């Protein structure tokens, strides 16, 4: 891709992020492939605030950060979870909630920032993820970042009453 990736900043979550998050999770295009309860909205505003408080207190095992675009606009979230400090690997999750910023390289830019945080700050060796087989847009982004497929997780998510296969992908520190 010839043109430069947009600039993003990752910052710790703030309680005022809850309103944006709650609003974004009303949008099925944003949540369709996210591991969330099968109802709209998936979480109430109070549950969203409760979750953000856990992330701020780091009591839920998540390193979840807000994604800001170059105009400091809050556009989504990216996280590392299931952090295995013994084997030095963790699982990445990402969502661009503000659709005005989707499909313009912000997802890729945010992943590069979080991957380097994982390798540099958390001392990880591998960052992996699980993506639903029909989430083509995300799979394309992940491949652009340098993720490689490790295998198929059969019937790994129950989505709207149907089991969906997921692909496990990973990127190693040596790959960067
Ligand atoms: C998955 C997701 C984070 C990807 O982010 P995105 O912003 O949509 O996509 P990207 O960051 O990959 O942007 C790629 C687009 O940016 C454009 N772009 C601009 N500059 C670019 C650059 N330097 N390099 C690559 N792409 C660039 C490309 O044209 C590309 O569009 P194309 O695929 O039509 O060619 C986003 O689609 C999303 O949040 N989806 C909903 C939640 C979800 O499914 N999350 C993943 C669950 S596993």
Test site for ligand 1: of 26, 74, 94, most ligand atoms within 8 A of the Cβ? 94
Q: Counting beta carbons within 10 angstroms of the beta carbon of residue 45, is it exposed (0 to 12), middle (13 to 18) or buried (19 or more)? A: middle
Residue 1 has pLDDT above 60, yes or no: no
Which residues touch 88 (CB under 8 Å, ≥6 apart)?
A: 123, 124, 125, 126
Domain that holds residue 79: 2-124
Mutual angle of helices 17-24 and 45-57, in 10-degree steps: 130
Q: For ligand 1, what atom is nearest to the CA of residue 96? A: 39
At 77, list the tokens.
């979230």
Residue 65 within a domain? yes
107 vs 95: CA distance, rounded Å: 8
Residue 165 within a domain? no
* pLDDT tens figures, 145-171: 999 999 999 999 999 999 999 999 999
97 vs 77: CA distance, rounded Å: 8
If you average pLDDT over every residue of the chain, what do you get? 96
Residue 158 within a domain? no
Residue 66 within a domain? yes
Q: Can you give the pLDDT at residue 111?
A: 98
Residue 55 is part of a domain; what is its CATH number? 3.40.630.30
Domain count, the chain: 1
Residue 149 within a domain? no
Residue 97 within a domain? yes
Q: Can you give the pLDDT at residue 31?
A: 95
């Amino acid at each position: 891709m010839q043109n430069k990736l947009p600039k993003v900043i990752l910052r710790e979550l703030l309680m005022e992020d809850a309103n944006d998050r709650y609003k974004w999770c009303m949008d099925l295009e944003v949540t369709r492939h996210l591991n969330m309860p099968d109802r709209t909205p998936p979480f109430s505003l109070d549950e969203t605030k409760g979750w953000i408080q856990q992330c701020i207190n780091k009591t839920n095992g998540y390193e979840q950060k807000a994604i800001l675009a170059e105009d400091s606009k809050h556009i989504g979230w990216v996280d590392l979870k299931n952090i295995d400090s013994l084997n030095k690997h963790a699982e990445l999750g990402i969502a661009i909630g503000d659709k005005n910023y989707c499909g313009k390289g912000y997802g890729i830019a945010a992943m590069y920032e979080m991957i380097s945080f994982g390798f540099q700050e958390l001392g990880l060796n591998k960052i992996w993820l699980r993506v639903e087989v029909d989430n083509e847009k995300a799979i394309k982004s992940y491949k652009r970042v340098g993720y490689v497929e490790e295998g198929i997780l059969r019937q790994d998510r129950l989505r709207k009453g149907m089991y969906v296969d997921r692909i496990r992908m990973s990127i190693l520190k040596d790959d960067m």
